[in-house]
Amino acid sequence: MTDIKELSYRQASEELEAVLRQLESSQLELEESLERYERGVALLRELQGRLAQAQQKVSVLLGEVEPESDDSVDASLS
Amino acid sequence: MEETTRPAIPDTLASVSTSAGSAQLAPTANDTPAGLTSAGSAQLAPTANDPLSVTAALELAKGLLENISLSIIGEVSELSDKPGYRAVYFTLSDQASALPCVIWRNVYDRQGLELRQGMLVEVTGRFTLYAAKGRMNFDVRIIKPVGEGDLRVKVAALARKLEAEGLMAASRKRPIPRMPERVGLVTSPRGKAVHDVLRTLRRRWPLAEILLAGVAVEGDNAPEQMIMGLSHVQANSPEVILLVRGGGSYEDLMPFNDERLARAVAASPIPIVTGIGHEPDTSIVDMVSDFRASTPTAAAEQVSPDRTELMAWLLDCAKRIDSDLISYFDRLSERLSRQATHPVFTDNEHMLRSRLLSLEHSQQRLLLAGDNLTTPFAAAISRLAAQLQALSPIQVLARGYALATGADGRLIRRVSNTEPGANLTVRLVDGSLVTEVRAVIPESMQTAFNYPEQTIPADADINPDGPTIHS
């Protein structure tokens, strides 16, 4: 099973959805259901953590971004 | 009549205009000085030595300008049509010049025409001078369209061409990833748009890495720069690219109608979302992109899930996963109690009964097999019996042989086994004779063989048809 840290957010959230579906079906062995539950909880914690702590990374490939100013461009006649 | 429909802009202009109203001026420069003398009062006569006040000079100009009624063709390049305003303002221009125009709301509403930027129009009216600012306007009384503006004609032709090539087909539009890990952003590094996008993504989807190419989005080299920006961003393999800019005039947005840029967008291996300007006009780049958002902010929203919604979903998942496990256990224990009521556990003889049945069945089969067991042997025995019968001495008797037995019942095999006077029982096929031996005549085998009939006396009380039985 893939290490949760290596999953993308989307992959992790898709897997969480799948775990929920498996738990909702009655097809699992008892041991398996416990294992699925633990995996689901781990996925949940990871996703919540990522969302809560994310810091956006901006890589500037070209140009230089000017800080935001109030004199925004307004082409309409005043 | 003329006076009432004409908009009276500021009061000062209106009053001056009436005072100079009688002037009849032809719209040619040569005529103006000559006409003026006949029109004006003595104080207004221009002479080189007699300087005028500003007001007087503008009144003079007004008198010259305001009676010239004429028609002009030009392109609407800037437009301010705000509800609640008493007039619509626009600029009429050609390559070299621009003329500010005003059309009063009630006049505009009668034209049945919706002015748009870039539209080529013919306007009829007169110049007016606003003395307080020394500004000249053209006061429009009639406005009508003259075909489409040059730029718009070209853009529409390009749109038709690219559409015919299939570049705008809905089937080419790719789905926009919902949770991209990397987002390319090609826009101006200055102005509102870039910050609108960054702010929106930071708020909604901070998990994405943003690859920003800050390029010119306006001016002659803008298409080229944006193409370069796209390729820089593409080289870093984002999942989706935003190509955005803030609002502007039709002319400002012209780079987004550039054929090279449109082709670069259409050929992008990565889906592109556009958010160009704020006006209802759709650019060609919008038409060939994978998704057209109305503004830069809307474009950013298109590529990002809302963090708040995701958080809510996760909370919901947390509840679901617990209740799922609990109901799973409930189902398990329910199944267990159902199994506990199975006859196996409740009926002691359940298992025994079925085994008894199967045992009986086995017994039946065994018996049947036992019955069949002797069949082949019985057949062999009757075959042997037949053979045995064929070999029976009785059969030999039938062919005419006889058996002689002594008084003790033993078979007389040789003449030496008996003596004269002995009683012999001679058995034939259909019965026995009781005889007495009168003589014993030993004989060599050979003679007996050659002369069998002579070995037995003619009166011997034995079967005359056959020899004595050999043993």
DSSP B433-462: EEEE--------HHHHHH-HHHHS-TT-SS
Tell me the C-alpha to C-alpha distance, in Å, between residue B12 and each of B23, B62, B129, B264: 18, 11, 10, 57
Mean per-residue pLDDT of chain A: 80
Q: Are B212 and A56 in contact (CB under 8 A)?
A: no
The position carrying tokens 């898709």 is: A14
Decide: residue B194, CB within 10 A, 0-12 exposed, 13-18 middle, 19+ buried.
buried
**What gap in Å lies between CA B264 and CA B230, rounded to an integer?**
8
Over residues B347-369, the mean pLDDT reads: 79
Residues contacting B245, CB < 8 A, separation 6+? B187, B188, B191, B193, B217, B218, B253, B256, B275, B276, B277, B296
Q: Show the 3-state SS of B267-318.
A: HCCCCEEEEECCCCCCCHHHHHCCEEECCHHHHHHHCCCCHHHHHHHHHHHH
Measured between CB atoms, does A15 come within 8 Å of chain B?
A: no
**What gap in Å lies between CA B436 and CA B461, rounded to an integer?**
9
What pLDDT shows up at residue B48?
Answer: 61
What pLDDT shows up at residue B418?
Answer: 85
Chain A residues touching residue B247 (CB < 8 angstroms): 73-76
Above pLDDT 70, what percent of chain B?
80
CB-defined contacts A:B, below 8 A: 125
Residue B336: pLDDT band by 50, 70, 90 thresholds? confident
Chain B residues touching residue A61 (CB < 8 angstroms): 211-213, 229, 232-233, 236
In this complex, do A56 and B310 lie within 8 Å of one another by their Cβ atoms? no
Q: For B220-240, write each residue's pLDDT tens digit.
A: 899 999 999 999 999 999 999
Cα distance from B185 to chain A (closest Cα, Å)?
9
The length of chain B, given as a count of residues: 471
Over residues B116-141, the mean pLDDT reads: 89
Chain B residues touching residue A56 (CB < 8 angstroms): 198, 201-202, 206-210
**What gap in Å lies between CA A56 and CA A47, rounded to an integer?**
16
Chain A residues touching residue B179 (CB < 8 angstroms): 8-10, 13
Half-sphere exposure of A37 (CA within 13 A, CB side): 20
Which phi and psi angles does B452 have, rounded to 5°?
A: -60, -35
Decide: residue B99, CB within 10 A, 0-12 exposed, 13-18 middle, 19+ buried.
middle
In this complex, do A51 and B179 lie within 8 Å of one another by their Cβ atoms? no
Whether B148 has a pLDDT exceeding 60, the answer reads: no
Which of B53-62, B161-170, B440-449 is least confident?
B440-449
Nearest CA in chain A to B183: A58
In this complex, do B212 and A60 lie within 8 Å of one another by their Cβ atoms? yes
Whether B176 has a pLDDT exceeding 90, the answer reads: yes
Which phi and psi angles does B263 have, rounded to 5°?
A: -70, -40
Q: Is B80 helix (H, G, I), strand (E, B) or coil?
A: strand
Measured between CB atoms, does A31 come within 8 Å of chain B?
A: no
What pLDDT shows up at residue B308?
Answer: 87
Whether A30 has a pLDDT exceeding 80, the answer reads: no
Chain A residues touching residue B332 (CB < 8 angstroms): 30
Measured between CB atoms, does A10 come within 8 Å of chain B?
A: yes
Question: Which one of A10, A16, A54 has the shortest CB-CB distance to B206?
Answer: A54
**What gap in Å lies between CA B76 and CA B74, rounded to an integer?**
7
Which phi and psi angles does B427 have, rounded to 5°?
A: -100, 130
In this complex, do B318 and A55 lie within 8 Å of one another by their Cβ atoms? no
What pLDDT shows up at residue A72?
Answer: 45
The DSSP call for residue B417 is: G
Q: Are B185 and B212 in contact (CB under 8 A)?
A: yes
In this complex, do B192 and A54 lie within 8 Å of one another by their Cβ atoms? no
Chain A residues touching residue B198 (CB < 8 angstroms): 56, 58
Quote helix, strand, coil % in chain A, to nearest 5. Answer: 55, 10, 35
**What gap in Å lies between CA A50 and CA A13, rounded to an integer?**
11
Cα distance from B16 to chain A (closest Cα, Å)?
27
Higher pLDDT, B153 or B91: B91
Q: Are B126 and B68 in contact (CB under 8 A)?
A: yes
Tell me the C-alpha to C-alpha distance, in Å, between residue B55 and each of B15, B46, B58, B61, B94: 12, 13, 5, 10, 31
**What gap in Å lies between CA B318 and CA B327, rounded to an integer?**
14
What pLDDT shows up at residue B191?
Answer: 85
The length of chain A, given as a count of residues: 78
Chain A residues touching residue B202 (CB < 8 angstroms): 56
Whether B273 has a pLDDT exceeding 70, the answer reads: yes
Whether B89 has a pLDDT exceeding 90, the answer reads: yes
Higher pLDDT, B23 or B97: B97
Whether A64 has a pLDDT exceeding 70, the answer reads: yes
Higher pLDDT, A64 or B185: B185
Query: What's the alpha-carbon Rg for chain A, to the nearest Å?
Result: 22
In this complex, do B246 and A26 lie within 8 Å of one another by their Cβ atoms? no
Question: Which one of A23, A26, A65 has the shortest CB-CB distance to B214?
Answer: A65
Chain B residues touching residue A44 (CB < 8 angstroms): 314, 317-318, 321
Q: How many C-beta neighbours within 10 Å does residue A70 have?
A: 5
The DSSP call for residue B411 is: B
Sheet holding B272-276, edge to edge: A57-62, B209-214, B182-187, B240-245, B272-276, B291-293
Give per-residue burial for B58-84: e unless 16+ CB within 10 Å, then b.
bbbbbbbbbbeeeeeebbbbbbebeee
Measured between CB atoms, does A39 come within 8 Å of chain B?
A: no
* Token couple for B444: 């060599």
Tell me the C-alpha to C-alpha distance, in Å, between residue A37 and each of B76, B312, B325: 67, 20, 7
Residues forming beta bridges with residue B158, ordered by sequence position: none
Residue A69: pLDDT band by 50, 70, 90 thresholds? low
